[in-house]
Chains A and B, each alone.
Chain A
Amino acid sequence: DIVMTQSPDSLAVSLGERATINCKSSQSVLNSSNNKNYLAWYQQKPGQPPKLLIFWASTRESGVPDRFSGSGSATDFTLTISSLQAEDVAVYYCQQYFGLPLTFGGGTKVEIK
């Protein structure tokens, strides 16, 4: 199984400041035949289902604000919120869809400092 490890478990950021979440996979999720990283990011607010933010490691889902960006390749990935807004308080998960079983990171809770 591909193990997804997120860090930190939680972080508190001031409004308008940058938030950075890391995700590391136990093996590469880069498909060399199409040069795509099979990595997605989700946002989950309390009492709500997860929402897809980013797929292919860096492609923003339609309607997602451009303050959210994804980067990285192979085994190391980052979700960045460039200027934290109050509505961004949530738990964020990374997920690989390179191989079965599909696996998620443990989540990172983002709060306002």
Chain B
Amino acid sequence: EVQLEESGGGLVKPGESLRLSCAASGFTFSNAWMTWVRQAPGKGLEWVGHVRSNGGTTDYAAPVKGRFTISRNDSINTLYLQMNSLKTEDTAIYYCTRYSAGFDPWGQGTLVTVSS
């Protein structure tokens, strides 16, 4: 069964950092383009960025570029999202998902709350 499981969310203050992880199973992780998508409370979906397979080139949405870093460890089938200089507007559920023709599957998400 193809599965993704995020972890690492929590409550942090503005300006602080947090690292999210996403453990993958049931597919060849190293061949997959992996993506982070977030959803602010009661709002729609927002693409955060992705990391390509075979070399790990990354692309980011403008609101997070320069603050967030996506990386991967193919030896342990894990995706990461390092979030620095967090802002209150980064408060959201963060989902990891596999990118092919569309996003599938999705993890259950992990909640990040940025508040003083």
Give A contacts to B, CB under 8 Å. Answer: 38, 40, 42, 44, 49-52, 54-56, 59, 61, 93, 95, 97, 100-107
Contacts and interface: CB of A to CB of B under 8 A. Distances in A.
A104 B104 contact: no
A40 B59 contact: no
Nearest to B103: A52
Given A50-B45, A107-B44, A97 B101 contact: yes
A101 B62 contact: yes
A40 B102 CA distance: 6
B65 to A, nearest CB: 10
B29 interface: no
Interface of B: 35, 37, 44-47, 50, 59, 61-62, 95, 97, 99, 101-109
Given A102-B47, A104-B45, A107-B44, A52 B62 contact: no
B104 A52 contact: yes
Contacts, number: 57
Contact of B95 (A49, A52, A104): A49
Nearest to A56: B101
28 contacts: A38-B101, A40-B102, A40-B103, A42-B45, A42-B103, A44-B45, A49-B97, A49-B108, A49-B109, A50-B103, A50-B106, A51-B106, A55-B101, A56-B101, A61-B102, A61-B104, A95-B45, A97-B101, A97-B102, A100-B59, A101-B62, A102-B35, A102-B50, A103-B47, A104-B44, A104-B47, A107-B44, A107-B45
A62 B19 CA distance: 33
Contacts of A106: 44
Nearest to A39: B102
A49 B47 contact: no
A38 B102 CA distance: 8
Give the interface centre of B46, B103, B105 by most chain A CB atoms within 10 Å. B103
Give the interface centre of A49, A51, A52 by most chain B CB atoms within 10 Å. A49
Contacts of A61: 102, 104
Contacts of A100: 59
Nearest to A61: B104
